[in-house]
Amino acid sequence: MDKKTFYRKYTHPFTIENNILPIVNKKELNANVAMYFSEFNLLKIGWGDYYSTQVFIKDEEQEILENAVVYYQNLVINKMNSPLHIEEGLIKRLQKTALNHSIQLEAHEKEFIDYLNRLVLEGEFISQAVFDTFIALLEVKFN
């Protein structure tokens, strides 16, 4: 974010620099991030004194915007262009195979699978490192 100084109340104090905070390949995520940092949300993010604009965003909507910003920050921190996706069914099949004793999972591998399952079920961010670890585990167990 590049802070801008203006003396007119209707000018937003921030611009998003694409080379620093890139637009990701997900329209809804981009829209929610933009709305979070827009003048319409300044009361919620602590810039309420800067504007006289009084637009109120519902608590449920605010939670969606906050989650989008956290997700977006994870993408930027991990230098990823788009969110990674792991199919829930793939994790379930791995867990079922372990329960049937077709493969053996060590304690730390089971903990990792449980953690990954929670991330997928709750729609949490999956980093490149977590994704790569899962793929490596599949290759080791099924090759």
User: What pLDDT is recorded for position 19?
Assistant: 57
pLDDT value of residue 114: 92
Residue 103 clears pLDDT 60, i.e. is over it = yes
Per-residue pLDDT at 12 exceeds 80 = no
Q: Which of 25-34, 62-71, 125-134 is least confident?
A: 25-34
pLDDT, tens only, 18-46:
555 667 777 788 888 877 877 666 666 66
Query: DSSP assignment of 99-142, as one string?
Result: HTTSS---HHHHHHHHHHHHHHHTT----HHHHHHHHHHHHHHH
The SS3 assignment for 66 reads: helix
41: region left, alpha or beta (phi > 0 left; psi from -120 to 50 alpha): alpha
